[in-house]
Amino acid sequence: MDGLLLCCQNEIDVQEIVDKLNKEVEVKQLEPIKYYLGIQIERTEDGSFLLSQKKKIIDFTESVGMKDSKPVSIPLKPEYLKRTDGELLPNNNDYKSAIGKLLYLSKICRPAVGLLRRKTNSPSVYDWRAVKKLARYLKGILDYKLVILACDEPRLIGFMDANLDRNGPDGKSTSGYLFFYGNSLIERTSLKQSVVALSTAEAECISATSASQELEWIIHLL
């Protein structure tokens, strides 16, 4: 048994696909979507969508022991960017598990966790405290929702940038890009580059390449 999400222009197209599938396997057609892969989905009268991950966030805060903690207003302390030392955790199993859950939350509609992800191999006690602080931040935005606005004439628009980092532990810069469809943000990424850029221009070219690859996939999907 598995779930399948159909997105069509009208009910006739949906039923045509269901009828074809029924010739091969038994298909149970459910109500309009409300919950899928850990995402709560609402649709407004104007056709816009509201996406949230309240249940997933609650599960995450419980898994790191922050169920009854008070929310905070920022995900990480500014000084975390400058902190590189500290006592290492006895093992990184809990840290890896927490980062995996955060990556799923961040991929759909939450802040990026790239900085914490970089410490997965050898996290410190300070890093683990940062994960717990991020859990407290998520508690404060538990009811926030990502809005996908209905649009009569949507256009695909993209932006990219790069941050040259010569002073980091490995000298690798960070790439970032955003894609909007109409007035709605549909994709955004901030990732460390896989090679060391020797100049700002090279870092920008690497970022542009990553953004172009994602653009090709989005165009194909649309």
Cα→Cα distances 29→5, 8, 17, 18, 22, Å? 10, 14, 11, 8, 10
Residues 6+ apart with CB under 8 A from 39: 51, 52, 53, 56, 108, 109
Q: Which of the 8 DSSP states describes residue 157? A: E
In the prediction, which pLDDT does 161 show? Answer: 93
Structure confidence at residue 11 (pLDDT): 86
Q: What is the pLDDT of residue 71?
A: 92
Sorted by sequence, the CB contacts under 8 Å of residue 20 that are 6+ apart come out as none
The total of other beta-carbon atoms located within 10 Å of residue 140's CB is 14
Contact 170, 196 (CB under 8 A): yes
| Ordered per-residue pLDDT tens for the chain, 222 residues | 577 888 888 889 989 999 999 999 888 888 788 888 888 999 999 889 999 999 999 999 999 999 889 999 888 887 776 776 678 888 889 999 998 888 888 865 455 577 788 788 888 898 899 899 999 999 998 899 988 998 888 899 999 999 888 767 788 898 999 999 998 988 888 888 889 999 999 999 999 999 999 999 999 988
Decide: pTM greater than 0.75.
Answer: no
Handedness of CA 114, 120, 126, 131 (dihedral sign): positive
Q: What is the pLDDT of residue 19?
A: 92
- Asked if 173 and 160 count as a contact pair (C-beta separation under 8 A), the reply is no
Handedness of CA 7, 8, 12, 18 (dihedral sign): negative
